[in-house]
Structure formats: structure tokens, C-alpha cells
Amino acid sequence: MREQYARRTQVLTAIMSLAAIAIIMQMIRIQNSPEADIFRERASNYAYELHTFYPDRGEIYDRNGHLLAGNKSVYEIGVDLSIAKDPQAIAFAVSNELNIDYAKILDGIQNPPPGLSYIVIADYIEAQKATNLRQLKKGLQAQSAEGVLGGLTGLEFKSHPQRSYPEDSLASNIIGFVNREGRGYFGVEEKYDLILAGNPVQALVPTDPNKAYDIPRALNGTTLVLTINRDLQAATEQILDESLDTYGAKRGTIVIMDPRNGEVLAMASTPRMNLNEFWKYGDTYDTASDFNPPVSRPYEPGSVIKILTMAAALDSGAVSPETSYLDTGSILVGGVKIQNWDQSPWGEQNMVGCLQHSLNVCMAMISERMGAATFYNYMDNFGFGHLTGVDLSGEAAGRLKIPGDSDWYPVDLGTNAFGQGVTVTPIQMMMAASSVANKGRMVIPHTLFAMVRDGREYNAPAQYAGSPISQQTADTLSNMLAVSLESEASLALVPGYRVAGKTGTAQIPVDGFYDATQTNTSFIGWGPVDDPRFMIYVWLERPTSSIWGSEVAAPVFSEVAQKTVLLLDIPPDSIRQQLVAK
């Protein structure tokens, strides 16, 4: 009997062993079969889902920590059709809160496109309106006899970020805007779009809520700190707006820069737009170049360019401050007669008088004395006809005709010398003139002060574009310009501070001819002369009260300069010099 049981046990053991071996062999076969990859993919799909995580866009601040561009939460409001039981109630509540047509909402809920289980009623809704609807939904659910099956059940709220500009239109031309697709347009938002936006992260996310700690987080975009002084920007915009009314100008631009390092402290222009309503861009601007004229709209600047003509003449040795000539009121250049702005002779003048009285004949004379090769070589070194590299989108290069161009004529050597027939942007003029204010060294204008990334701050260094003139030339010319303003009791003078500068009045070409009744009036100046801390450029277009830069742009410069020294806490010359002497 025992032998019989033992035999049965051995048979059973053998059968079970064979079955176990068969199972193991089948498992090995399945794992190495083509179907195994399908099974693994299915299993992984149940455990993980591929998601893209978008970082918050970096914020933008002024140099003193005022927020200029940030992010806020807005809401998409939709309806889950699979659980919505009362379309009329949903349509009525949303229509009442969001001021959307009731019939349109109701039709969308009751007649959705085939296959849709969720529809969007509205997007980019302010948080407060979404909160009001949420509270209403909660209240109706609490009172409903049907519990969650009635009232506003099915009304859904999805939060997402939107760019926010707490100062509305302040510095709008500098900042630019971000559209609803997250792309930056104009200004800093476009120039630094990639580093502001950050890098999206794709990752497999566990479907099991208990594994939520495995969900990655995309690092936020880089935060930017601008060189802009918010208070100075606001004051400059106010002065500009008031000046347009005072002088009847069509449009205007004022830029303030530190000539020592190229930091743009304020950049105001008209018109401006509320960045929180970027979709109204077309209502404000006719062309993209109108968004930020200081960098994107070249124009014939007129006599402000005489600063650089004189700088080239002094530096090349063609003239000295004491060089004199007899001004007869006209001169022939390339067979064409060039006259002074008042068509009058000014008699014997030296180079200070040439600047003081803004004599076209003088400038044409010294450009001829230098010769075309020398004159245009200096203008090229000053950056005319080239981009400055300012870190704002949409910069234009302007135009400097040179010998050899099909539309250059010998007379251009004379007219270019006093700012006619050459086009520049205000930011180009400031970069070129910085060589005079900054001891011969030309700075590259910029708006980025620092970047903040992962808790670390990286300061943006000053950059320079060479030294087109010597320090001696720069110091001599700055003093000549200061004397010329003081000698004529210019409206550009700033009480307590010695400043250097030059007016510009340029007739505007209309239908191929210069219209003497329509002008661009400009002024560029800097101070204090012995230690420049600010450079200001003023450009008012088509003023009606007066056509002259000395009567329109010069007093605006003085007003802006007085506000600048106050907000930047620059002591008057007498106090500053006493402190230095100690």
C-alpha cells in the first residue's frame, strides 16, 4: 500500500514539475515575443501619461524693484456635458456674470458639435468673476433637492496664467506685450522672449495620485531687471504729453540715458497703448515702426548732427575752436547753393559762433575742408547707417549715403554736414553723441540691468563701440557746446547745472520737396558738463506753435533735465564741486 502511494506521489510530482516548467517556458516565450512590447506599452499607459509642463514667464522689474510685467491667474469657463442637468440655469448665470448672450450660451450647450463632451463658453476670465460663479454654483448645489445633479452642476473652471501689466501703458514702448499664445511682441518682451518664457518640460506623469511626488516642475522663466527708473519714466511721459499740447506737436519722443555706460533711464514716446489690452494694437498704431520710434523710426534730424560734424573736424585737425571764417550767408557745394537757416550772412565767426548760431554754411565749409573720405569715415565710426545693438526689438539702421552710392551727389557732402539727406534714429544719435559726453568713448545703449535665474542675479555689463574721437576732442567740444548755450541764453539751460547740447530744426520732405512750414524739432544735451550723469534727447514732430527747435525742443530738454537731477539726486554744480574739493 505504501509503495502504491509513493508511486502516485512521484507521478504527481513529475506532472506538477512539468507543468511548472511549461509555465516558465511560456512566460519566457511571451516576454521575448513581438507582442511583449505591446503589452508593456499598454501597461505603461495605464500607469503613466505624457504631459508637457510650461513654466511661468519671467517677471520684469524696473531698477528699483517696481513690477512692470508679471503674471496673473485667469480662467477658462466651460461645461462638462456628461453631467450638466440644467442648461438654462448655466446659461442664465454665465450670461448675467460675464455679459454674454444667453441664447448663444444655451444653444452651445444644447447643440454641441458631434462627439464633444466638453465645450468652452469663455476664456481669459478675471479671477473675481470666476469666483462669483463658483460661489453661486456652490450655493445652488447646497439648496438643490437633487444635490449635485441640479443647479450649475457641469459648469467647470480651469485656471491658467496670463501676462499682466500693473502700470497699464507706462513704458509700453519699452516693454512690449505677450499675446494669448504666449509670444512676445515688441520691446523687451520680444527681444528676450526665449529667456523670459523658459523651457517647457515633457515627462511621464503617474496616473496614481499616491505617486504625485514624482510629478516634475518646470523652472520658471528668467526674471529681468531693467535699467529704467519707473518714477523718471512716468515723469518723462507726463512732460512729453504736456509738451505736445503746449506746442501743438503731432507726436513726440524723449529718451534719457546715462552716457557713461549706456543705461536707458527713461524712453517715452507717443502714442502709447494699454498693454493689458494688446488686442487693440491696430487701433493705436498704423505701422510696427510707430510702436517705439526712438529705435525704429529714422528721420532727418537737422542741426543736432552738427555736433558730430564739428567733432570730426576738430579730431581730424581740419579746424580748431579759434578757426575763423567770413560767413557770407551762402556757399556752393557741388555746384549747388547752400544757405543758412535764416538765409542771412553772419560775418566773421569762429567755431563756437558756428555752433551757437547753428550756421549751415559753416558746416558745409568744414566738411569740404575735411573732404568726403574723412567726413564719411567719421560718420561711419559714429555708427550712422548701422544698428546700435540696443536690446529692444524692431531697431532700424537709418541711412547714410556715401560716395559711390547711386543716389549720392557732391552736394550731399555739404547738406549731410548739417543733418539734411541723412536719416538716423534718436538712439543712434545718443550713441554717437555719447563719444563727446564720455571722453571719446562711445557706449552701446541698453535696457537690461540684470537677470535673475534660480535665485542668482547676473548683472549686465556696459558695452562700448569704440572711440571715434580722442578725449581731448570730446572735452573741447563739450565746453564749446556749453559756451554756445550760455552765450545765447538758451531755453535749454538748467539752473544750477552746466549743460552742453545742440538744437535741431529739420524741414520735412513732402512729395519730394522740403516743406518749410513742417519741421522735426530736436534737442540733444548732457550734463553736468564736468561729470555727465544724464543725456537727454527730445524730438517733437510738426509743432504748430513754432517751427524752431530752439523754441520748442530746447525748453522741453530743460524741464526734463530739472526733473532728472531731482529724481536721480544729482547735486547742483556748486555743491558737488565743494564735495569734490574736500
Say what the pLDDT of residue 148 is. 45
Q: What DSSP element (H or E) covers 283?
A: helix 281-284
Q: Which of 428, 502, 469, 525 minimizes the C-alpha distance to 312? A: 469
**pLDDT, tens digit (0-9, with 9 covering 90-100), for 238-285:** 999 999 999 999 999 999 999 999 999 999 999 999 999 999 999 999
pLDDT at 5 over 60: no
pLDDT for 573 beyond 80 = yes
Q: What is the pLDDT of residue 547?
A: 92
- Range in 7-11, 79-83, 536-540 the model is least confident about: 7-11
Q: What is the pLDDT of residue 73?
A: 86
- pLDDT bin (cut points 50, 70, 90) of residue 161 is confident
Is pLDDT of 210 > 50?
yes
Checking if the pLDDT of 224 tops 70, the result is: yes
Return the pLDDT at 349: 94
| DSSP per-residue codes, 148-212 | GGSTTTTEEEEEEEEEE-TTTTTTHHHH-EE-TTS-EESHHHHHTHHHHH---EEEEEESSGGGG
Residue 103 has pLDDT above 90, yes or no: no
Residue 361 clears pLDDT 80, i.e. is over it? yes
Cell numbers for 145: 433637492
Supply the mean pLDDT for the chain.
89
Range with the poorest average pLDDT among 109-113, 265-269, 343-347, 422-426: 109-113
Which grid coordinates are listed for 259?
A: 552716457
Distance, CA of 137 to CA of 140 (rounded, Å): 5
pLDDT score for 150 = 63
Choose from 84-88, 178-182, 470-474, 517-521 the range with maximum mean pLDDT. Answer: 470-474
pLDDT digits (tens, 9 = 90+) for 455-514: 888 999 999 999 999 999 999 999 999 999 999 889 999 999 999 999 999 999 887 788
d(CA 507, CA 494) in angstroms, rounded, equals 27
Pick the more confident residue, 575 or 313.
313
pLDDT single digits (tens) 26-48: 666 666 666 556 555 555 555 66
**pLDDT confidence of residue 533:** 97
For residues 69 and 93, the model is more confident at 69
Going by pLDDT thresholds of 50, 70 and 90, the confidence category of residue 447 is very high
Taking alpha carbons only, the member of 259, 480, 468, 440 closest to residue 358 is 480
Rg (CA), the chain: 35
Among 147-151, 258-262, 403-407, whose mean pLDDT is lowest?
147-151
Q: What is the pLDDT of residue 280?
A: 93
